[in-house]
């Protein structure tokens, strides 16, 4: 049920890979680099150019990430990019993200998604998806998203009330701690539709589809007008999307002035012709990651090495 170049990894380090191909498909957890990553794993400078990823919990890089290491260290998804289309399959709980489907005890940073996320069918309980991350705070464990952007659209078919779509995060879930969203931007359209194809109000947001309890948001930008914050339905809660997200034009997100316009800071490099790129040498981890565990990749998936200093 764990499908990817690596099915399941624990306390592992995977870095400097580019994966190409037509499809990665799994019945449950599916990701181009790994289906399931746990116990303080690190995935660094990895890139997906696989056309389609299919699963009940699916991401362009990893399907599901959770559980800190024995020393309390978080999982790290850093310096990764994906252009894969994410297609979500029917299940009880369905989570999809351009980078990660569901994440707990995880830091996602310096990642870029350009692929679309969609559900062809609904779920029987909960369906959430985002341009970067489907559900933040999975299994009641803190997760943070920093210095990321998505240009992919998120389109979900609503067959249950708990269906949420966001340009960056589908749902910030109930956790035993705090979730953060910092220094991110999105140009993708997120929408939830009913079976007749009509938009379902209150189920989608420009960057965040739904906030359950508290999400701390700072310095985030969208070119899509901020929708009315979706209902939360729990108490206490804080719904703080409005007031912490700035609407600017897509033109202001591109070109030589983009880094300044969005106050992105170091690690970002302006591109005269498009969106900012990431300088991995500036964003590189200062600590040496743990040695990788011995794992066996799926031989049906093709990989080519990418140098660590390459700008994704």
pLDDT for the residue numbered 245: 80
C-beta separation of 176 from 157 below 8 A = no
**Is pLDDT larger for residue 252 or for residue 211?**
252
| CA distance linking residue 253 with residue 106, whole number of Å | 27
CB within 8 A of 197, min separation 6: which ones? none
Strands 13-25 and 302-305, bridge-based pairing? antiparallel
pLDDT for the residue numbered 146: 95
| Residue 45 pLDDT grade (very low, low, confident, very high; cuts 50, 70, 90) | very high
Q: What is the pLDDT of residues 55-80, one digit of tens each?
A: 999 999 999 999 999 999 999 999 99
How far, rounded to the nearest angstrom, does the alpha carbon of residue 157 sit from its chain's CA centroid? 19
Percent with pLDDT over 90 in the chain:
61
| Residue 276 pLDDT grade (very low, low, confident, very high; cuts 50, 70, 90) | very high
pLDDT for the residue numbered 78: 96
Omega before residue 176 within 30° of 0, cis:
no
In three-state secondary structure terms, 261 is: helix
pLDDT for the residue numbered 241: 42
């Amino acid at each position: 049920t764990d499908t990817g170049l690596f099915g399941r990894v624990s306390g592992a380090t995977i870095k400097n890979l580019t994966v190409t191909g037509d499809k990665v498909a799994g019945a449950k957890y599916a990701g181009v680099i790994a289906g399931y990553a746990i116990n303080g794993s690190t995935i660094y400078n990895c890139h997906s150019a696989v056309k389609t990823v299919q699963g009940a919990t699916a991401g362009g890089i990893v399907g599901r990430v959770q559980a800190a290491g024995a020393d309390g260290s978080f999982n790290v998804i850093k310096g990764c990019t994906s252009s894969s289309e994410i297609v979500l399959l029917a299940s009880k709980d369905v989570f999809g993200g351009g980078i990660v489907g569901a994440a707990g005890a995880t830091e996602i940073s310096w990642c870029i998604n350009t692929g679309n996320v969609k559900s062809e069918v609904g779920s029987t309980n909960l369906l959430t998806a985002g341009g970067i991350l489907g559900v933040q705070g999975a299994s009641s464990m803190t997760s943070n998203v920093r210095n990321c952007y998505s240009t992919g659209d998120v389109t979900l078919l609503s067959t249950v009330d708990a269906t949420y779509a966001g340009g960056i995060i589908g749902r910030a879930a109930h956790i035993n701690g705090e979730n953060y969203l910092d220094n991110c931007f999105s140009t993708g359209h997120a929408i939830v539709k009913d079976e007749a194809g009509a938009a379902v109000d209150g189920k989608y947001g420009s960057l965040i589809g739904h906030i359950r309890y508290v999400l701390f948001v700072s310095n985030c930008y969208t070119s899509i007008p901020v929708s009315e914050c979706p209902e939360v339905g729990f108490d206490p809660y804080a719904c703080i999307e409005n007031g912490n997200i700035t609407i600017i034009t897509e033109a202001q997100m591109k070109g030589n002035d983009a880094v300044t316009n969005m106050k992105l800071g170091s690690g970002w490099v302006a591109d005269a012709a498009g969106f900012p790129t990431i300088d991995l040498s500036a964003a590189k981890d200062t600590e040496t990651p743990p040695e990788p565990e011995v794992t066996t990749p799926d031989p049906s998936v093709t990989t080519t090495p990418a140098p660590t200093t390459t700008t994704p």
